[in-house]
Amino acid sequence: MELRQLRRFLVLAEELHFGKAAARLHIAQPALSQELKALEKALGLRLLDRTHNHVALTDAGRRLREEAVHIIEAHDAAAAAMEELRSPPLGTLKLGVAVGVAYPLLAELLSGLGSGENAPEVDVKPAAAREGVQKLLEGEFDAVFIHAVPPSDERLGVLTLDTEPMGVALPSGSPLSKLAAITPADLNGQALIWLQRDGDPDVRERVLGLLMDGGLIPGPHRWSPSIATTMSLVAAGLGVSFKTPHQVVPGDPPGVVWRPFAGVSLPMPTVLVWLLNSASPLTTRLVVHARRYVAKKS
């Protein structure tokens, strides 16, 4: 088995669709099919059950998926360790981070880069989804944490770290706070408090579009410079704000509650994106820790 085969098998095991997997890997579908057949022949085991319109992992396929994750993680960690020995000065890690990325997640990943005398320089700047990816491609960032999966691009590495449901922050005195879940139409006419006009327009438009498709008739838009200020405005009864659960801390400030949506699904991913062929040692180390984080969660 080759690492290339295992990496491609993991993509296929995730997609369970030859066309989609081939598109992600930027190879022809027949080439992917032939590579799978070669891997199955080398192992002497059938990894996928295939029919005309259905693909499923066999028991051997599920086991290989588990083992392949560990093998690739170990390989990438060893490669990063050797790179550190070759290039002791780590330099500066330039990160773009979208507003609303969970602090514990970011802290856990960055803590794996070193601490004390071994801590690297980390330069963090705000980054919206589309703008952040563009700056990554232009070399302004080494990696970005954003709230959208970017369009397929063979230059980019993409890893979804977490997904939270988007819900709504409400004044605790609002009649809506007595509901267990909120439909988009329940919010008709409510003032909507958004985090800065230039915060992340792509995400804002996606969220608003899905809610309007679900029956929301938006009220006036209001703008806030920070999450803390947003929560204060909600607590004062000046509107509602769309937030994930970790962004609404019970009792801070008092007077705000979070409720999930009913009748509409608004998953909000946190995605790490980096350049595949020009990753620095620090970026490689960050990606290794990110993969471990995802594996530990699953």
How would residue 74 be classed by pLDDT, with cut points 50, 70 and 90? confident
Best-predicted range by mean pLDDT among 10-14, 98-102, 217-221?
217-221
Per the structure, how many domains does the chain have? 3
The mean pLDDT of 26-31, rounded to a whole number, is 89
Identify the domain containing residue 193 by its residue range.
167-265
Chain centroid to Cα 268, Å, comes to 8
Q: What does the pLDDT read at residue 143?
A: 95
> Residue 228 above 70 pLDDT?
yes
Q: What does the pLDDT read at residue 152?
A: 86
pTM for the whole structure: 0.68
Nearest alpha carbon to residue 92 among 121, 72, 118: 121
What Cα–Cα distance (Å) separates residue 44 from each residue in 5, 11, 58?
15, 21, 13
Best-predicted range by mean pLDDT among 59-73, 81-95, 106-120?
59-73
Each residue's pLDDT tens digit, 256-266: 999 999 999 89
Each residue's pLDDT tens digit, 126-140: 888 889 999 999 999
> Residue 197 above 80 pLDDT?
no
Are 259 and 196 within one domain? yes
Are 255 and 178 within one domain? yes
Are 126 and 257 within one domain? no
For the chain, where are the alpha helices, taking DSSP H only? 3-15, 18-25, 29-43, 59-86, 103-111, 129-137, 201-213, 227-235, 281-297
Neighbouring-strand partners of residue 168: 242, 259
Q: What does the pLDDT read at residue 84?
A: 62
Percent of the chain with pLDDT over 70: 95
Best-predicted range by mean pLDDT among 13-17, 182-186, 197-201, 253-257?
182-186
Are 150 and 274 within one domain? yes
Looking at residue 10, which CATH number applies to its domain?
Answer: 1.10.10.10
Q: What is the mean pLDDT of the chain?
A: 88
> Residue 281 above 70 pLDDT?
yes
> Residue 58 above 80 pLDDT?
yes
Q: Tell the residue number behind the tokens 């004390």, with chain if given.
A: 116
Task: Please work out, in degrees rounded to the nearest 5, the angle formed at the alpha carbon of residue 171 by the alpha carbons of 167 and 175.
Answer: 90
Considering only residues 82 and 268, tell me which one the structure prediction assigns the higher pLDDT.
268
How would you write 146-202 as a 3-class SS string? ECCCCCCCCCEEEEEEEEEECEEEEECCCHHHHCCCECHHHHCCCCEEEECCCCCHH
Nearest alpha carbon to residue 161 among 227, 90, 246: 246
**Whether the Cβ atoms of residue 159 and residue 178 lie closer than 8 Å to each other:** no
Amino acid symbol at 297: K
> Residue 244 above 60 pLDDT?
yes
Are 185 and 119 within one domain? no
Are 125 and 211 within one domain? no
Distance CA 138, CA 117 (A): 31
Q: What does the pLDDT read at residue 100?
A: 84
Domain end position, chosen among 73, 103, 119: 73
